[in-house]
Chains A and B, each alone.
Chain A
């Protein structure tokens, strides 16, 4: 209950917690740094083998692994730009968390959004959206559903886009943010509703424990 109480922000968050807890049941072992506010996988969750086209300013459309630069951290979020509520709230919270860090640490945190709705999230739309929030960012966009699915599976994420009767689209997606290191280890994940100060605390903990890798 201690973990639950710490992150609950409203009923919806509680349900998100339930999803996270059920996910974590599949893991075993007790690795990972202690004192983190988010969920720490109980066994190493390696996403280093996953790569997708990054249409951000650095990737410029080339395939890039979803791993951080040496000694840094990469925050990965699967979402879509037509999402008016959950996605901008989460990205705004992440931005607030990064702003809480000392300037030298801010340069060590990059944010990647992978679109789950590539049909509507054209390259231009996605670039404008992610670039609005962050100065260090990647935007992953693949039009290959199997590649997106493989990436989501590696992270423990999921999504679906279905057409509605009225001609609209309904998008369902898991709403976690995953923190990944330069080796592709998923260090911690944050449920929707995680406070930015708690995210910042996790980033500080992870960046300080990752100092050695930066050398």
Chain B
């Protein structure tokens, strides 16, 4: 039993070494192979905690028509600054690192979710409270800039 668990866990862990673009190739293929199309859904941010000038935002980014590359995330200066981060596990410890770009293959969905990729919001000028709308602009190599509104929810 122990051996089985280890083998299974190791097999799964190797997936993390595969770039997200490859890991998602099993996603449904786009029906209409039009030009680049980016669909963003489920955008939300976590309200900032008392006394902390940072938090995180999440969403799903689906690319159809062609592959594209997410190169930048931003929020208005009046809110603070944003970076694309990834939570990673090294030797059993979790930490975060900045990610400069992520390739999303045609038909794939990049999930920004807890414990994985997320938009790190830093240097907040004022607290982000429940229900607040936060505009987040994502820049793609082909598609260009796309702005979505993320709602702050617990």
Show the binding face of A for B, using Cβ within 8 Å: 1, 3-4, 8, 10-19, 21-23, 25, 81-82, 84-86, 88-89, 92, 124-125, 128-129, 132, 158-160, 170-175, 192-193
A125 to B96: give the CA distance in the assembly, Å.
Answer: 21
Chain B residues, CB < 8 A from A124: 51
Q: Tell me whether B10 and A18 are in contact (CB under 8 A).
A: yes
Can you name 16 A-B pairs with beta carbons within 8 Å?
A: A1-B8, A11-B13, A12-B115, A14-B9, A14-B13, A16-B89, A84-B56, A84-B118, A85-B85, A86-B114, A125-B51, A129-B49, A132-B50, A171-B95, A174-B94, A192-B115
Q: Tell me whether A4 and B5 are in contact (CB under 8 A).
A: yes
Query: In whole Å, how far is B150's beta carbon from the nearest beta carbon of chain A?
Result: 14
Main secondary structure of the interface of A (DSSP, over half): helix
A15 to B18: give the CA distance in the assembly, Å.
Answer: 14
Contact A174/B52 with A1-B5, A4-B5, A21-B5 known, Cβ cut-off 8 Å: no
A92 to B47: give the CA distance in the assembly, Å.
Answer: 12
Q: Is B77 an interface residue (CB 8 A)?
A: no
**Contact indicator per residue, chain B 76-91, by CB within 8 Å of chain A (1) or not (0):** 0000000001011111
Query: In whole Å, how far is A175's beta carbon from the nearest beta carbon of chain B?
Result: 5
Chain A residues, CB < 8 A from B13: 11, 14-15, 18
Chain B residues, CB < 8 A from A158: 92-93
Partner of A19, one of B12, B49, B88, B89: B89
Q: Is B126 an interface residue (CB 8 A)?
A: no
Q: Tell me whether B120 and A174 are in contact (CB under 8 A).
A: no
Chain A residues, CB < 8 A from B120: 84-85
Q: Tell me whether B12 and A4 are in contact (CB under 8 A).
A: yes
A172 to B92: give the CA distance in the assembly, Å.
Answer: 9
Q: In the complex, given contacts A21-B6, A128-B49, what are 8 additional A-B residue pairs having Cβ atoms less than 8 angstroms apart? A: A17-B5, A17-B9, A18-B13, A21-B2, A25-B2, A86-B114, A128-B50, A171-B95
Query: In whole Å, how far is B42's beta carbon from the nearest beta carbon of chain A?
Result: 15
Q: Is B151 an interface residue (CB 8 A)?
A: no
Q: Tell me whether B94 and A192 are in contact (CB under 8 A).
A: yes
Chain B residues, CB < 8 A from A82: 52, 54
A125 to B, closest residue via Cβ = B51
Query: In whole Å, how far is A10's beta carbon from the nearest beta carbon of chain B?
Result: 6
A12 to B49: give the CA distance in the assembly, Å.
Answer: 25
A92 to B130: give the CA distance in the assembly, Å.
Answer: 14
A113 to B120: give the CA distance in the assembly, Å.
Answer: 22
Chain A residues, CB < 8 A from B113: 10
B87 to A, closest residue via Cβ = A85
Chain B residues, CB < 8 A from A25: 2, 6
Partner of A12, one of B16, B85, B91, B93: B16
Segment 81-135 of B: residues with Cβ below 8 Å from A: 85, 87-96, 113-116, 118, 120-121
